[in-house]
Amino acid sequence: MDFLSNVEPYRIKVVEPLKITTHEERQQVLKKAHYNIFKIPAEEVFVDLLTDSGTSAMSQYQWAGIMTGDESYAGCRNWFHLEEVIRDITGYPYILPTHQGRPAENILMAIHLKPGISALGNMFFDTTEAHVLNKGGLPIDLVIEEGLQTDQDHPFKGNVDIDKLEQTIKRLGREKIGIIHVTVTCNNNGGQPVSMANLRAVREVADRYGLPFYLDAARFAENAYFIQQREAGYASKSIKEIAQEMFSLADGCTMSSKKDGLVNIGGFLALKDEQKYRQAQQFLIALEGFITYGGMAGRDLEALSIGLREVLDQAYMTNRVRQVRIFGEQLLQAGVPALQPIGGHCVMLDMKRFSPHIPQEHFPAEALAAQLYLDSGTRACGLGQLAFGSEDAQTGQVHYSPLEVVRLAVPRRVYTDNHLKLVADSVIRIYEERNKLHGMQIVWAPPVLRHFTADLAPLQE
């Protein structure tokens, strides 16, 4: 493939026009949105890197599949297509469709947790963490130390610290642990992969203590690609073969199909154990819908069954990871402190190094997100103190978020390298004048998940 693999392995058949706004217009939009980028209408955004979730462009085959949607309540044909594809990739016999990833997490945690019981993983995604907490459980992140260092190179920064895993089980006692749930790739630290050797080691620990081990497989194909590229012994294996091996090591998985399913909505829970499947069915019917649609339309089941095959294509994945890497490298070459190595689905900017003059309690990530929108109409997501930290109004005590980052997530098959160059130039421009960046303050915020709806204002206006 060589030089052809540097180019998108598709051409564009349908285009969605983007609105070009002026600096003054963006200033008005930002003010009206109370400086919270979640509140900006999408049509006012030029390059939307808020998330890679549910934002993929579908292929002609997926759109054609949409037309074959069978909307029968029970046993629609598209369900059987999807079931066959998921069984083929994962090897799991029991599959439950859900409308996205979080209901699958809700059901899995309901089966395995009760109050006072812990869930162990590399880094729990926020919805998974919420479901663990909702069941009275305690989520414990055990990612390797390098996974939290933004400037250290490591091929598998999503790996679980195996010593810590075993020590934690010994410290708490086997009976106090309900589940091990490992996210591939690890979203929270920038789409960093987990190696096959690490998954194998987790399996061994799980077997030693009789613990169930599941994958959060939202980006399973990107993880398999990194294994192919970076882990000895996998270079000649296909992405599908590697994915099959990854799944074979676990007892099942939760899946947000909005990422590596290449669709705009969907998810599933897949299991090896029939008893657990029967239990899960009862939750599914109450929460999502009948067991052959689980909150998805028949047409969407079909689009997913096609997307799950397309994501395993070597040419697609080579270009996908290349695009994100080239984007990140433009920033690194200009000295911008991006998390290294560049992950599978996003570039993360380390705000502690980007603008050390802004303390975390003045929300440097949101300050940059606002400035990026003003500068180039780019939307990015702040993931730091506003999302994960807190300040006690009475005592003034601050609980700091361990990471303070801005995430530039790249939707699949949506933007060209040119769009990403525009964003890179914009970040570099702001970085060169970073001393002019000033902090933000909260005008209003709800008690939980405040970053989605908080009203903010610049500190010096």
Ligand X SMILES: Cc1ncc(COP(=O)(O)O)c(C=O)c1O
Q: Cβ of 275: how many Cβ atoms within 10 Å?
A: 10
Q: In the numeric block, which tokens belong to residue 265? A: 């909505």
Residue 170 burial by CB count (10 A; 0-12/13-18/19+): exposed, middle or buried? exposed
Q: Which of 35, 124, 125, 234 is catalytic?
A: 125
Cα 177 from Cα 179, distance rounded (Å): 6
Closest separation between CB of residue 157 and ligand X, Å? 15
Residue 415, CB half-sphere, CA atoms under 13 Å: how many?
A: 24
Closest separation between CB of residue 158 and ligand X, Å? 10
8 A C-beta contact, residue 258 and residue 247: no
Residue with token string 């963006």: 26
Query: Using CB under 6 A, which residues numbered 257 to 316 contact ligand X?
Result: 258, 267
Closest separation between CB of residue 344 and ligand X, Å? 11
Decide: is 256 part of the binding site for ligand X (CB under 6 A): yes
Q: What are the two backbone dihedrals, phi and then psi, of residue 252, each rounded to the nearest 5 degrees? A: 160, -175
Q: Which residues contact 236 (CB under 8 A, 6 or more apart)?
A: none
Instruction: Write the interaction track for ligand X spanning residues 179-198; mark x where CB under 6 A is met and - where it is not.
Output: ----x---x-----------
Q: Which residues contact 397 (CB under 8 A, 6 or more apart)?
A: 391
Kind plus residue range of the DSSP H or E element containing 308: helix 298-310
Cα 124 from Cα 142, distance rounded (Å): 9
Q: Which of 42, 73, 170, 235 is catalytic?
A: 73
Decide: is 131 part of the binding site for ligand X (CB under 6 A): no
Bond prior to 185 in cis (omega within 30° of 0): yes
8 A C-beta contact, residue 402 and residue 383: no
8 A C-beta contact, residue 40 and residue 30: yes
Closest separation between CB of residue 37 and ligand X, Å? 16
Q: Out of 36, 53, 78, 122, which residue is the one contacting ligand X (CB under 6 A)?
A: 53
Cα 317 from Cα 221, distance rounded (Å): 8
How many helices and strands (H and E) does the chain possess?
A: 16, 16
Decide: is 125 part of the binding site for ligand X (CB under 6 A): yes
> Which is nearer to ligand X, 256 or 319 (by Cβ)?
256
> Which is nearer to ligand X, 129 or 367 (by Cβ)?
129
Q: Is the alpha carbon torsion for 256, 304, 107, 287 positive or negative? A: positive
Cα 95 from Cα 280, distance rounded (Å): 10
Q: Catalytic site residue 387? A: no
Closest separation between CB of residue 100 and ligand X, Å? 3
Instruction: Write the interaction track for ligand X spanning residues 343-382; mark x where CB under 6 A is met and - where it is not.
Output: ----------------------------------------
Q: Out of 55, 100, 192, 330, which residue is the one contacting ligand X (CB under 6 A)?
A: 100
Q: Catalytic site residue 259? A: yes
Cα 206 from Cα 157, distance rounded (Å): 21
> Which is nearer to ligand X, 26 or 102 (by Cβ)?
102
Q: Catalytic site residue 258? A: no
Closest separation between CB of residue 53 and ligand X, Å? 4
Decide: is 451 part of the binding site for ligand X (CB under 6 A): no
Decide: is 223 part of the binding site for ligand X (CB under 6 A): no
> Which is nearer to ligand X, 182 or 206 (by Cβ)?
182
Total of chain residues touching ligand X, rule CB under 6 A = 14
Decide: is 127 part of the binding site for ligand X (CB under 6 A): yes
Chain residue at closest Cβ approach to ligand X: 101
Segment near ligand X (CB under 6 A), from 95-103, 173-181, 313-321, 430-438?
A: 95-103
> Which is nearer to ligand X, 159 or 330 (by Cβ)?
159
Which amino acids are annotated catalytic?
Answer: 73, 125-126, 216, 218, 259, 451
- List of residues contacting ligand X (CB under 6 A): 53, 100-102, 125, 127-128, 183, 187, 216, 218, 256, 258, 267
